[in-house]
Structure 1
Amino acid sequence: MVRPNNQLPENLPQLQNLIKRDPESYSDEFHTQYEHFLSLLEIFSLNPSEENKSLDEICMFIAQVAQCYPHVCQQFPKHLTDLLRNSATVLDPAMRNCFVKALILLRNKNLVPALDILELFFQLLRCQDKNLRTFLQTHIVTDIKNMNAKHKDMKLNSSLQNFMYGMLKDANPKAAKMSVDIMIDLYKKNIWNDAKTVNVIASVGCFSPITKVLVTSLKFFLGHDDEDEANSDSGSDNEVDLKGALMQNRVNKKTKKRQKQLQQIKKQAIKAQKKKKNAPVFNFSGIHLIHNPQGMAEGLFKQLQGTNDRFEVKLMHLDVISRLIGIHELFLFGYYPYITRFMQPHQRQVTRVLQFAAQASHELVPGDIIEPILKTIANNFITERNSSDVMAMGLNASREICMRCPLAMGEDLLQDLAMYKTYKEKSVMMAARSLITLYREQLPALLHKKDRGRQTEAQAERKVRAYGERDVQDTVQGAEALLKDSKMIDLGSDDDDTDSNDGEWVTVTHSDNEAAGEDEDAAATDSDEEEDDEEDDEDEEDDEEEEEEDDEEEEEEDEEEASDEGVRRDGDAAEGKEAAKSDKKEKANVKMLNQKEAAQELALTRIFTDEDFKRINAANLKKTVTNARKRPLEQDRAEFVKLSNIEMIYKKRKHDKESRLETVMAGRKDRDRFGWKDGRVNENSSKTNKEKSKTKNFGMMRHKARSKVKKSFRDKQMAMRKHLLQQKKMK
């Protein structure tokens, strides 16, 4: 092979190109360069704080062609890693960046193991070089993501997580902060989304003496998803840009540049559409994966009581503790008296404090523990000495607390708060009514009789639960709505030996609307049975009415003589009424029991479709509505309390321009037209030139405005002469 004329040892880029094409022919030149690298490295190790450009160039050269001579370069990564480990903090920044980039090149070519390089890079996070730390963070996240792209390398992940456990305890605040940022980033990217990562952050990060690490870990458990919202907004922008580009391409001139731009926009829109069609990835909060939530809540509360950090950090502690208590249903009774101290209308971020009190409430907390919070809110917020907004927020906070722990509210306090339903301010009135509506569904017995409202079917079926009692369903609730599709239901079961209907098929009766779609034969048999039942009931009622009339006539005719006999007959009539009523109730109960058993049997023997569930949901929704209430109650029972539920004030605020203009125009309706009034009798008659000049554009009147300046005697002479000349020409 013909060698080039220039000197290869001095032209490393050209030698690099030639070696990649033909490694065997240039083996001697590479050995020469490698020996030169070793000598330069020994010289540099004597004074590592000075930059050596020759070593920089030859180091990158060897990293580029190392895959061509793997045996020769076997010790090359070790030389670099030893130098970085021993003197990373005193190295020249340019040389340190050079060595790091060389190691990354070798890692991308799989010439060095990932675990050794990543552990070294984690240690380099201690360096006082912000650009280097940012570069290393990006590489670490990308490298771990690529290694887990096809399948998760559990052995490598476990080793790195154990190493990160020690890095979070590092005395260097910047290294610890960067380490926790990397772990959180990997969790959000669904790479390290296991319980081990979450518990490392919970056990080490949330109790770190470094404030930045502590705040970052607490924010992770608060679960802010700002990036997801930004991505969702960008998707909608792509669609708008596509429509605009299509319209521009239709109207504007067709050029190659515009066509190329249109094709790019179309590709972006197709990508965005594919992302929407993909299955959504649910990245739920890590607070659900904590192994020891009770211990973490107690530790955070103890740390909160002894901390001297800023008020914002204390609020983060309160928020995380309240979420732990609410989600995992913990017992931390010291938390409630502590948070009561911050419940004052003038307290900074008081609405968030009320939100934390609601989040820390659940059904297993005794009502005696939460009742002081409700009394504090009532005394400090729901009083007429405060503004209407403060009163409304206090009522909203009480509603959110009682929604999660209904037994916390006492009867006297509830009836006092319910009296604000007629308050003069609408915001307070609506907040009080929302509290009344909640207890109509939960515990109507605590309300005054006039506040209970008309009972719905769902309220009648609901059972009032005692403290600690759970509502366990043994069937699909509302499955009775599907009984009209199945005409015959087998009520017999192998377990019930005492049932008289074992192994028999019985007919389930329905209302007129539900039975409209049945067959004629089945409808005829059902109608015969219903008619018999109705005739029996009517006969009983007629007999009762006749007996009552006979008793009244006999009492009128012979009141004094047959008093004993009348009393006996009245007693018989009363007994007959009670017996008839009890028979009706028994029949209704038997009918309801048969329907429930049939619905339970249907749920066990049939797979419900989406249409079936839609009908079940519609039936359950119908039970919550009465003739007086046309819409169902919507009570949000999410695991996290929204701040808007407490700050929601029913008031129309006229701060926008349209509402202000409406008010202005409404005040001008019955008023005369404003402005200068002329003395014309007829408004439609023509105006003088002086009046017209008031409405003309200033550009048209500028020359006349100048003429109003007082003229000199010479100007008057010239104007007079000009006027006379014009008059002469006119003649």
Structure 2
Amino acid sequence: MSDRNRNKLPNNLPQLQNLIKRDPGSYKDEFLQQLRHYQSNLQIFQLKPSQYSKTLDELLIFLAQVAHCYPEEMGGYPQDLRDLLLSHSSSLDRTMRMSLCKALILLRNKNLIPATSVLELFFEMFRCQDKLLRKTLYTYIVNDIKSVNLNHKNAKLNTTLQNFMYTMLKDNNPIAAKMSLDVMIDLYNRNIWKDTKTVNVITTACFSKITKILVAALQFFLGTHEEREDKDSDSEDESEVKSQTELLTGHRVGKKTRKRQKKLDRALHNLKRNKKNKKKAETFNFSALHLIHDPQGFCEKIFRQLESTTERFEVKLMMVDLVSRLIGVHQLMLFNFYPYVQRFLQPHQREVTRLLLFAAQASHDLVPPEYIDSVIKTIANNFITERNSSEVMAVGLNAVREICFRCPLGISDDLLQDLTQYKNHRDKSVMMASRALIQLYRRVNPELLLKKDKGKPTEASKGLKVLQYGEKDTRTYLPGTEALTENAVEDNDDDNKDNDGWESCSEEDDDDDDGEWVDVHHSSDEEEVDTSLVPETKEEREQKAMTVSTSRILSQEEFKKLQQLEAVKQTEGMTSGAKKRKRPAEEEEERGELLKLSMIENVYKKRAHDKDSRLATVMEGRVDRPKYTHGPRKMNPHASTTNRDKERGKNYTMIKHKVMNRKKKRSFRDKQIALRNSLLKKQKTKY
């Protein structure tokens, strides 16, 4: 019998593993033999843990695969692995350490060891100087916590791990602390640990002395990691498109064979499959800034750290951004922030547009107007002057507009009227920025504008109330709902006229066979005037609107109707003879709780055409245009051409030798004629 067909169960571990999984009871003796073999090798290995043992490596994976078949005999096996990793994690051989971790992962997948003990151990093993191991453990931790919270949230496990990771963020090892922070951020982005405890644990990382941890925490609250992932996915898509184009282009060259076509189809299929796998489900999540327990205290700590930090300018800029967002989102009071930002509001300052954006983000209507007025005056003195370029002036005006949108009382009437004088500036960017500022105060407080800039009065400005500092416009009704009752009555009257009126008349005509006269009443001056024609007062309209708002639930069609009515009020004049003012071509860009940099850098300039837009304009110009013909037309299109005409269509390298020889072999008479012509040409140009 050959060695290939001989059964070697004691040494052939994969075969024994397969047989044990099929029938554990029949092969228990062989398993116990391997278990004793493992225990003896483990004692030898503990004497020199830095050396690699192939026998022990194979036994570790074998026992982890069949541990669920003998739970009593393998009860202490997980604890042995855990103790070995805890005591010798830094001195173990790389391969043995990875095998021990894989064995623990197999046991955890079979629910033979609790998740808490395994995950806490793996978090501590982030201290190991093994990049591949850290990456493997990071992936497993995220996937394991995701699977545990798949059907329902495991609050006990999540709380235990979050408390443990709170201590890991303060670990002396920067790599372990950074990896723990990355795990928490990844779980938050995957909607697994999207709670207040996770966010407030991450807030502690914003005060770390390690720059990488500080930057990662700041990027989490600013949301820049999501933007970076979007850019990475866009670049990957571009690379996929490029590779697909290269494949198709390469297939055009060369002989067309069935083998090459199959190879091309296989490559395109792989590209399509990879692109499909990379697509992620779109999630709609609000900002983590809303989940902070004490935003005022957190903001003050960040600002104190900003004033005393020695980090590079990019990190300081991120801290300024976070402070401004906290102030704007939670409407905090941090008065020292505004003088701090004013120092950087200079046209030559690096990233000055972002600093202007941060100043606008930190503005809200609860900030005392004197602080905002100081910021606006600094912007006006440094940016909105004739000594600067038009782009600088436009950026300054846009920044003032965004600040005034959030704090209308922060600018004085004299400064506002000075800035509105740029509405007739020669540069379009400055002109549009100034007119946008005028449009803002026409809706907010027209009294601050000059009389010529107030514009025509509208229905919306009829009952406009200028709010003072700290005052809120609170109402107990929805504006415009008084018109819903009138429209409803009109619709009902029209329906009754259309449906019931003519039918009743026709029935009366049909039934009236007696020839009796019907009394018809006409309107006269003596009759009482219809009350519907009397203009309603403001109090009556508010009472009617309150009745409609509190008596029933409005439908989606009625809400759309209210929006249309409000839009009409913005343009409709107060008097009956007033003409309807034209609305701007573009609606004002919607503003959320966070500003966009495009609102500050909104400089009106004709942008350069890219290739696609330029090609689109070219193709648009060719519509209904006759096809052009190049060169003189022949009287007979089938006539032959001369050799000189054929040479015009050839490549120059093909006829280069003929041209050079033709120049070299000119006769003496040809040279005389050429010289005479050149002299005559010079003489004509001279006089």
Give TM class, smaller chain: 0.7 to 0.9
What is the CA distance between 1:484 and its match in structure 2? 3.0
Other-structure match for 2:74: 73
> 2:461 & 2:524 partners in 1: Cα distance?
31
Distance 2:484 2:524 in 1: 22
Alpha-carbon distance in structure 1 between the residues aligned to 2:69 and 2:339: 71
Offset at residue 178 of structure 1 (A): 0.5
Q: Deviations over 1:305-339 (max 9, x none)?
A: 11000101101110110010001000000000001
Distance 1:90 1:193 in 2: 37
Amino acid at match of 1:653: R
Amino acid at match of 2:218: L
Counterpart CA distance in 2 for 1:179 and 1:593 is: 62
Partner of 1:125, secondary structure, is: helix
Shift of 1:263: 10
Is the 1:374–1:398 contact (alpha carbons within 8 Å) kept by the matching residues of 2? yes
Structure 2 residue aligned with 1:207: 207
Rounded Cα–Cα distance in structure 1 between residues aligned with 2:571 and 2:464: 14
Q: Which of 331, 334, 339 is matched with 2:333 structurally? A: 331
Match of 2:42 in 1: 41
Q: Deviations over 1:163-213 (max 9, x none)?
A: 1111111111001100111001111111100111111111x1111111111
Structure 1 Cα separation of the partners of residues 649 and 493 of structure 2: 79
* Aligned residues of 1:84 and 1:96 also touching (Cα < 8 A): yes
How far is 1:69 from its partner?
1.0
Match of 1:425 in 2: 427
Structure 1 residue 533, shift from structure 2 partner: 7.3
Q: Contact 1:60/1:102 (CA < 8 Å) preserved in 2?
A: yes
2:19 and 2:104 map into 1 onto residues whose CA distance is 22
For 2:441 and 2:431, the matched residues in 1 are separated by: 16
CA displacement, residues 332-383 of structure 1 (integer Å, 9 cap, x when unaligned): 0000000111111111101000000000000000110111110110111111
Counterpart AA for 1:84: L
Which residue of the partner structure matches residue 636 of structure 1?
590
> CA–CA distance in 2 between the matches of 1:75 and 1:530?
107
Would the alpha carbon gap of residues 614 and 366 (structure 1) be closer, same or farther in structure 2, given more than 3 Å must change?
A: same
Q: TM-score, length-normalised on structure 2?
A: 0.79
In structure 1, the gaps of 5 or more residues are 242-251, 488-509, 538-583, 665-676, 679-685, 712-731
Q: Distance in 1 between matches of 2:275 and 2:126?
A: 39
**Residue aligning to 1:377:** 379
Partners of 1:659 and 1:115 lie apart in 2 by 58
Would you say 1:28 and 2:29 are equivalent positions? Answer: yes
- Relative distance call for 1:697 and 1:646 in structure 2 (3 A) is same
Partner of 1:621: 567
Cα distance, 1:515–1:481 mapped onto 2, change above 3 Å: farther
- Which structure 2 residues correspond to residues 75-90 of structure 1 after superposition, within 5 A? 75-90=76-91
Q: Please, what TM-score do these two structures have when normalized by structure 1?
A: 0.74
Pick from 600, 606, 609 the counterpart of residue 652 of structure 1: 606
User: Does structure 2 conserve the Cα–Cα contact (< 8 Å) formed by 1:624 and 1:633?
Assistant: no
Aligned equivalents of 1:529 and 1:310: distance in 2? Answer: 86
Deviation, structure 1 residue 598: 2.5
> What residue in structure 2 maps to residue 470 of structure 1?
472
Structure 1 stretch displaced more, 78-87 or 652-661: 652-661
Larger radius of gyration between Structure 1 and Structure 2: 1
| Structure-2 change in CA distance of 1:630 and 1:516 (3 Å) | farther
- Identity among equivalent positions (%) equals 52
Deviation at 1:620? 1.2
**Aligned counterpart in structure 2 of residue 366 of structure 1, from 368, 393, 398:** 368
Match of 1:612 among 558, 568, 577: 558
- The letter of the residue matching 2:479 is Q
Return closer, same or farther for 1:307/1:535 CA change in 2, 3 Å cut-off.
Answer: closer
1:316 corresponds in structure 2 to 318
Please state how far the C-alpha of 1:260 moved relative to its aligned partner: 9.9
Are residues 1:483 and 2:497 paired?
Answer: no
Distance 1:420 1:604, change over 3 A: same
SS of the aligned residue for 2:469 comes to coil
The superposition leaves residues 32-59 of structure 1 with CA deviations (integer Å, 9 ceiling, x where unpaired) of 1111111111111111111111111111
Structure 2 counterpart of 1:596, one-letter code: E
Q: Distance in 2 between matches of 1:235 and 1:214?
A: 31
Distance 1:593 1:126 in 2: 72
Q: How does 1:529-544 map to 2 (within 5 A)?
A: none
2:673 alignment counterpart? none
- For residues 95 and 267 of structure 1, do their structure 2 counterparts lie closer, same or farther at Cα, with a shift above 3 Å needed? closer
Residue pairs, 1:622-701, within 5 angstroms: 622-626=568-572, 627-631=580-584, 634=588, 636-654=590-608, 656=610, 693-694=647-648, 696-698=650-652, 701=655
Q: Residue 392 of structure 1 contacts residue 649 of structure 1 at CA under 8 Å; is this kept in 2?
A: yes
Q: Number of residues paired by the alignment?
A: 599
Report the residue type matching 2:210 in the other structure: I
Distance 1:477 1:601 in 2: 12
Please name the residue that 2:623 is paired with. Answer: none
Residue 588, structure 1, aligned to residue 535, structure 2 = yes
Distance in 2, Cα, partners of 1:662 & 1:27: 77
CA change 1:13–1:659 in 2 (3 A) is closer
In 1, the alpha carbon distance for the partners of 2:429 and 2:596 equals: 18
Is this contact kept in 2: 1:222–1:320, CA < 8 A?
yes
Change in 2 beyond 3 A, CA 1:696/1:73:
closer
Q: 1:238 touches 1:272 (CA, 8 Å); kept in 2?
A: no
Give the whole-Å Cα distance in 2 for the aligned partners of 1:662 and 1:136. 52
Contact 1:436 1:451 in 2 (8 A): yes
Please give the alpha-carbon distance, in whole angstroms, between the structure 2 residues aligned to 1:530 and 1:595.
28
Map Cα deviations across residues 581-637 of structure 1 (whole Å, 9 max, x no partner): xxx9xx6344x4334322322222222221111111111111112412234862633
Which whole-Å deviations, capped at 9, do the CAs of 1:447-491 have from their partners, x for residues lacking one?
A: 11111111221122321111111111212222123113543xxxx
Q: Quick one: structure 1 residues 22 and 633, their matched pair in 2 at CA, closer, same or farther if it must change by over 3 Å?
A: closer
Distance 1:178 1:528, change over 3 A: farther
- Equivalent residue number for residue 297 of structure 2: 295
- Structure 2 residue matching 1:458: 3-state secondary structure: coil
The residue aligned with 2:113 is: 112
Q: 1:26 to 1:428 in 2, by over 3 A?
A: same
* Higher alpha-carbon deviation: 230-239 or 339-348: 230-239
> In structure 2, how many angstroms separate the alpha carbons of the residues matched to 1:653 and 1:467?
42
**Quick one: distance in 2 between partners of 1:32 and 1:536?**
105
Q: What root-mean-square deviation, in Å, do the aligned CA atoms of Structure 1 and Structure 2 show? A: 4.1
Aligned to 2:154: 153
Name the residue aligned to 2:624.
Answer: none
Q: Distance in 1 between matches of 2:44 and 2:278?
A: 55
AA in 2 matched with 1:407: L
CA deviation after TM superposition for structure 1 residue 77, in Å: 0.7
Deviates more, 1:26-35 or 1:313-322: 26-35
How far apart, CA to CA, are the structure 1 residues paired with 2:133 and 2:71? 28
1:397-476 equivalences in 2 (<5 Å): 397-476=399-478
Amino acid at match of 2:178: K
Q: Which moved more, 1:207-216 or 1:140-149?
A: 207-216
Cα displacement string for residues 82-125 of structure 1 (whole angstroms, at most 9, x for unaligned residues): 01111111111111100000000000000001100000001001
Kindly provide the amino acid, as one letter, of the partner of residue 600 in structure 2: I
